[in-house]
């Protein structure tokens, strides 16, 4: 068999494996999770601490389990800007300062799945010192009486 044919077979095999293992509609939470106390609620959050994880966020999931969310952890404090792409549900987003204080809570509405990236609604923080962002299913903060000023103990990070 020619070398080119072997390479083509190998590429086809890799492509098949990729297709059979990647199903965007069933993206599972990553294994890097922690429990946090937010207000009087204990929540379980996935840690998102890499550029790839930041970009994917909660995209392509059908929903979130009760009291589950995603905590974005950034290496430095600065103004943050979030958007929703490929989300199947509304999300509440909390911008959090380095001391764990929630400085803003924003309600993000799901957008049509075919919305071009450059047309997505952006949700910039007002603060320029955001170190963490917590995403929960839409309405979670209000339903659980969590508001701006609530402090979250993030010392385990």
Q: pLDDT tens digits for 88-104?
A: 889 999 999 999 999 99
> pTM (2 decimals)?
0.76
Q: What is the DSSP letter of 20?
A: H
Tell me, yes or no, whether 18 lies in a domain.
Answer: no
Percent of the chain with pLDDT over 90: 53
pLDDT tier at 155 (50, 70, 90 boundaries)?
confident
* pLDDT above 50 for 111: yes
Domain count, the chain: 1
Tell me, yes or no, whether 127 lies in a domain.
Answer: yes
* pLDDT above 50 for 116: yes
For residue 145, what are the contacts with CB-CB under 8 A and spacing of at least 6?
39, 40
What are 44-54's pLDDT values in tens digits?
999 998 888 77
Query: What sign has the CA pseudo-torsion 21, 63, 79, 94?
Result: negative
Domain containing residue 123: CATH number = 2.60.120.1140
Tell me, yes or no, whether 66 lies in a domain.
Answer: yes
Tell me, yes or no, whether 5 lies in a domain.
Answer: no
Tell me, yes or no, whether 17 lies in a domain.
Answer: no
Tell me, yes or no, whether 41 lies in a domain.
Answer: yes
Tell me, yes or no, whether 125 lies in a domain.
Answer: yes
- 20: its two tokens: 């059979």
- 148: its two tokens: 């701006």
Please report which residue ranges of the chain form alpha helices under DSSP H.
3-21, 51-56, 140-143
- The boundaries of the domain holding residue 56 are 29-143
pLDDT tier at 6 (50, 70, 90 boundaries)?
very low
Backbone angles phi, psi at 21, to 5 degrees: -105, -15
* Residue whose C-alpha is closest to residue 82's, from 120, 46, 27, 28: 120
Tell me, yes or no, whether 76 lies in a domain.
Answer: yes
* Residue whose C-alpha is closest to residue 137's, from 108, 112, 117: 108
CA dihedral of 7, 12, 13, 15, whole degrees rounded to 10? 130
Predicted pLDDT at 12: 35
Q: Apex CA 128: angle with CA 86 and CA 125, to 5°? A: 35
């Amino acid at each position: 068999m020619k070398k080119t044919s072997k390479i083509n077979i190998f590429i086809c095999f890799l492509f098949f494996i990729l297709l059979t293992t990647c199903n965007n509609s069933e993206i599972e939470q990553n294994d890097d999770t922690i429990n946090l106390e937010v207000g009087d609620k204990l929540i379980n959050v996935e840690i998102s601490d890499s550029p790839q994880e930041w970009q994917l966020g909660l995209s392509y999931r059908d929903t979130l389990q009760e009291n589950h969310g995603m905590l974005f952890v950034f290496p430095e404090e600065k103004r943050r800007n979030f958007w929703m792409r490929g989300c199947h549900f509304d999300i509440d987003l909390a911008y959090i300062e380095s001391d764990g204080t929630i400085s803003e809570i924003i309600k993000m509405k799901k957008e049509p799945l075919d919305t071009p990236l450059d047309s997505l609604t952006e949700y910039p923080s007002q603060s320029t010192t955001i170190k963490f962002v917590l995403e929960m299913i839409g309405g979670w903060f209000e339903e659980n009486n969590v508001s701006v000023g609530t402090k979250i103990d993030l010392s385990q990070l």
